[in-house]
Structure 1
Amino acid sequence: MATTFIPLSPAQAKQAFALVEERVTWFENNGIDQWVRAHYLSHYNLAYFEQAARRGQLWGLFDGARLVASAVLLDEDPRWQDYEKVPAWYVHNLAAAVDKPGAGAEFLRQAEVSARENKKRYLRLDCKAGAKKINAYYEEKGFAYVGEWGEDAYKGTLRQKRL
């Protein structure tokens, strides 16, 4: 896959949001309890992605002219406030095209390269605690379990990969 990894513009945020909607449907169809449609899409709507793009935090992976994966990359994340404060990118809302196997993994690989270039020591993320498939996916990609955060409504597993 010949790809390009770049920050997205606010005009491209609609494409990123479409990937998220597609992935929510895929999660539902595959029994993965990660992003519950009504709750997730109300919080992470198109305006959220447009704002992230304006701040330079929405990144995309293109295969030719097609956006095949995207995520919001933050320099800080309050979910990690009780852990070592180190230069890191915090990956949120990672979504990849359902018909492009490996696009999410390639996004993470290229995010690692870019994070190193930006003097980051870790890629950090969270996923729903107890969601076996998504936790196994990140474990396989080298994201070690660090701890948990959240309350009764949502408990997340914090994971990080040393760069």
Structure 2
Amino acid sequence: MKILNSTPADIDTIFELYDQATAYQKLHTTRYWLGFDRALVEEEVLAQRQWKVVKEEVIACVFVTGFSDPHIWKERDADPAVYLHRIATHPAFRGQGLVKEIVEWTKRYARENGKKFIRMDTGSGNDKLNNYYISCGFNYLGTTGIHPDADLPLHYKKGDYSLFEMEL
């Protein structure tokens, strides 16, 4: 297994994984992704914030990193943290612990970049997913609301979000 920066050639695959993840979300919760702007993903790829997990020569999973997330983390955004976003796993690789592998990789990445926290969020109300993130080593910090005018993808405008943090 390798974790590498995504390339422009991966963008169609990234969107296929997002579509598959959204279909899976719709089966298991009422909170699901509402699509993403292609220009946003292209920007993330060029900024080297979009990553791919390659396993058996297949893109098994994708995710995004960032060093700032003020709309969600508000005053805590001032802390030195890596934020994980939009983890989407290929259906053939679900259940193989890829998020735990991403977390281990992110610990090293955070330390290399002088960060003291790894953070992520997810739509509130999905206890199974919340418990999975806790099993990956995250602490559940409660929920937060998002201002409706925040410049975020559409799904963020639907309710509260559960916050997760891991201190290094």
Q: TM tier, shorter chain?
A: 0.7 to 0.9
What does residue range 32-51 of structure 1 map to in structure 2 within 5 Å?
A: 32-36=29-33, 40-41=34-35, 44-51=36-43
Alpha-carbon distance, 1:84 to partner: 6.2
Q: What is aligned with 1:6?
A: 4
Q: What is aligned with 1:82?
A: 75
- Structure 1 length normalisation: TM-score? 0.85
Query: Does residue 148 of the first structure (1) align with residue 140 of the second (2)?
Result: no
Structure 2 Cα separation of the partners of residues 48 and 92 of structure 1: 13
Alpha-carbon distance, 1:119 to partner: 2.1
Alpha-carbon distance, 1:98 to partner: 1.7
Alpha-carbon distance, 1:35 to partner: 1.5
Matched-pair contact (CA < 8 Å) for 2:52–2:62: yes
Aligned with 1:115 (options 101, 110, 131) = 110
Secondary structure of 1:83's aligned partner: helix
- Structure 2 length normalisation: TM-score? 0.82
Identity across the alignment (%):
24
Structure 1 Cα separation of the partners of residues 46 and 99 of structure 2: 23
What does residue range 100-139 of structure 1 map to in structure 2 within 5 Å?
A: 100=93, 101=95, 102-139=97-134
Structure 2 Cα separation of the partners of residues 109 and 98 of structure 1: 21
Matched-pair contact (CA < 8 Å) for 1:125–1:158: yes
Q: What is aligned with 1:26?
A: 24
Secondary structure of 2:62's aligned partner: strand
Structure 2 Cα separation of the partners of residues 111 and 15 of structure 1: 22
Question: CA distance change for structure 1 residues 92 and 84 in 2, over 3 Å: closer, same or farther?
Answer: closer
Alignment size in residue pairs: 155
Structure 2 Cα separation of the partners of residues 71 and 51 of structure 1: 14
- Structure 1 range deviating more: 74-83 or 145-154: 145-154
Secondary structure of 1:160's aligned partner: strand
1:33-60, CA deviations, whole angstroms, 9 ceiling, x for partnerless residues? 3424xxx21xx23332112111111011
Secondary structure of 2:91's aligned partner: coil
Q: What is aligned with 1:65?
A: 57
Root mean square deviation, CA, Å: 1.9
Residue segments in structure 2 that go unaligned for 5+ positions in a row: 147-156
